[in-house]
Chain A
Amino acid sequence: MELAAISYDSVATLADFAMRRGISFPLLSDAGSNTIKRYGILNTTIDPKNELYGYPFPGTFIVDRQGIVTSRVFEPIYQERSTIASILVRLGRQIDAPATKVAGAHVELTSYATDQVATLGTHLSLVLDVRPAPKVHVYAPGASSYKPVRLALDAQPGLIVRSAQLPRPEDYFFKPLNEHVPVYQHPFRIVQDVMLDPSRDGSAALKDVTSITITGTFEYQACDDAVCFPPQGIPLSWSIGVKPLDRERAKPR
């Protein structure tokens, strides 16, 4: 998939930035903000007399080969930004990332983080692909009397646990008890969003930190059509490199 990033910086500023950061994909200069204005995404809350006037509401468009928008993400808080890999995973697309496989009782897990490096305010995702064993189902959120699946992350300073995305469950009818229960009985994916906390407390917690290890437990209860097994927990971890915010500026010309 092609990638391009547009800002109102000059070509010289973009050239300097691309060199410093080793960027090879196109950085496009919309000096004067004409494209930003035509797109209707100029940040109109900025006073035109402000020297920074002309920048957009930051956002990402994903378009098809005809240039039609298939999805878009605009962050309400500018200090926070979803990574492209996280956006793509949440849209159900495949990405390349080093994954770990774990075999548990009645399930197989494959897990990875969308990004190996993040900075303050980065929204990234932890992905957990769960494959129930043949003829086994696990319980979805909303199932009462059974332990539903849950990715429980351990709290730690500098880490914000955001929302989790789970697929729509199937309805399972268990005739002996005449009960309907929401379950997963085919491979399914949990996408758990997390963020490196950009607040003052988060910045303090992550100061001089070069990597964090996010730990948690996949909780579930598996049953087949005759027996329910006791609830289980599988420990998981992900290592994320932490890089400081880029505070460099282009060289004065």
Chain B
Amino acid sequence: MTERIAFPGSSSRLSRAVTGCGLALGVGVLCVLSAIGIAARQQSSAPVTTIDVDTVGPKVGDALLEFSLRDQTGQLRSLKSLLGPNGAVIVFFRSADW
């Protein structure tokens, strides 16, 4: 008495590829092929050094180096002083000004 209804003609697993292309700050063409998780950047003019950003900086398992930096109020903050019971999220960003 077992009945299994298989789905007819099922499962194209390939999801729709969404492609966005456009000028990136006037220096090249930015294309994002998202469905397959590939992001490619092409420079149309002078060659540029490409760096694999996954290889820069501290790795998983490394201890972040201690620092002592002033916050927006002028107070000195160390990494140690920022660590809570659940640790911390430390974000490096390009600039708050441009």
Residue positions of A touching B, CB distance < 8 A: 1-9, 11, 13-15, 17-18, 23, 26-30, 35-36, 38-41, 44-45, 52, 55-72, 74-80, 84, 141-148, 150, 152, 155, 159-164, 174, 176-177, 195, 197-203, 221, 223, 226-231, 249-250
Residues 56-98 of chain B: 1 if any A CB is under 8 Å from the residue's CB, otherwise 0? 1111111111110111111001011011111111111111111
Is B45 an interface residue when CB atoms closer than 8 A count as contact?
no
Tell me which residues across on chain A come within 8 A of B24, comparing CB atoms: 79, 199
B11 to A: closest C-beta gap in Å: 5
A14 to B93, CA, bound (A): 12
Contacts A30-B69, A56-B94, A200-B22 given: A161-B35 contact, CB under 8 Å?
yes
A45 to B79, CA, bound (A): 27
Counted as pairs of residues, one from A and one from B, with CB atoms less than 8 Å apart, the total is 282
Residues 1-20 of chain B: 1 if any A CB is under 8 Å from the residue's CB, otherwise 0? 11111110011010110101
Tell me which residues across on chain A come within 8 A of B49, comparing CB atoms: 44-45
Tell me which residues across on chain B come within 8 A of A78, comparing CB atoms: 94
Q: Which residue of chain A lies nearest to B24 when distances are taken between CB atoms in the complex?
A: A79
Q: Which residue of chain B lies nearest to A6 when distances are taken between CB atoms in the complex?
A: B92
Q: Is the CB of A141 within 8 A of B60?
A: no
Q: Is the CB of B89 within 8 A of A2?
A: yes
Residue positions of B touching A, CB distance < 8 A: 1-7, 10-11, 13, 15-16, 18, 20-25, 30, 32, 34-35, 37, 39, 41, 48-49, 51-54, 56-67, 69-74, 77, 79-80, 82-98
Q: Is the CB of A38 within 8 A of B65?
A: yes
A221 to B60, CA, bound (A): 39
A39 to B: closest C-beta gap in Å: 5
Q: Is the CB of A58 within 8 A of B3?
A: no
A56 to B: closest C-beta gap in Å: 5
Tell me which residues across on chain A come within 8 A of B91, comparing CB atoms: 3-6, 58-61, 84
- Can you list 13 A-B contacts with CB-CB less than 8 angstroms, sorted by A residue number? A1-B84, A23-B72, A30-B67, A57-B92, A68-B61, A77-B30, A141-B11, A143-B11, A148-B10, A152-B15, A199-B30, A221-B7, A223-B4
Most A Cβ at <10 Å: residue of B2, B15, B96:
B96
Contacts A57-B51, A63-B87 given: A160-B32 contact, CB under 8 Å?
yes
Q: Is the CB of B72 within 8 A of A11?
A: yes
Contacts A27-B96, A69-B59 given: A11-B74 contact, CB under 8 Å?
yes
Contacts A4-B90, A162-B34, A201-B22 given: A249-B7 contact, CB under 8 Å?
no
Q: Which residue of chain B lies nearest to A146 when distances are taken between CB atoms in the complex?
A: B7
Q: Which residue of chain A lies nearest to B94 when distances are taken between CB atoms in the complex?
A: A55
Q: Is the CB of B69 within 8 A of A62?
A: no
A136 to B39, CA, bound (A): 38
Q: Which residue of chain A lies nearest to B75 when distances are taken between CB atoms in the complex?
A: A26
Q: Is the CB of A14 within 8 A of B71?
A: yes
Q: Is the CB of B88 within 8 A of A144?
A: no
A138 to B98, CA, bound (A): 49
Q: Is the CB of B64 within 8 A of A9?
A: no
Tell me which residues across on chain A come within 8 A of B98, comparing CB atoms: 52, 249
Q: Which residue of chain A lies nearest to B53 when distances are taken between CB atoms in the complex?
A: A74
B17 to A: closest C-beta gap in Å: 9
A176 to B34, CA, bound (A): 40
A220 to B56, CA, bound (A): 41
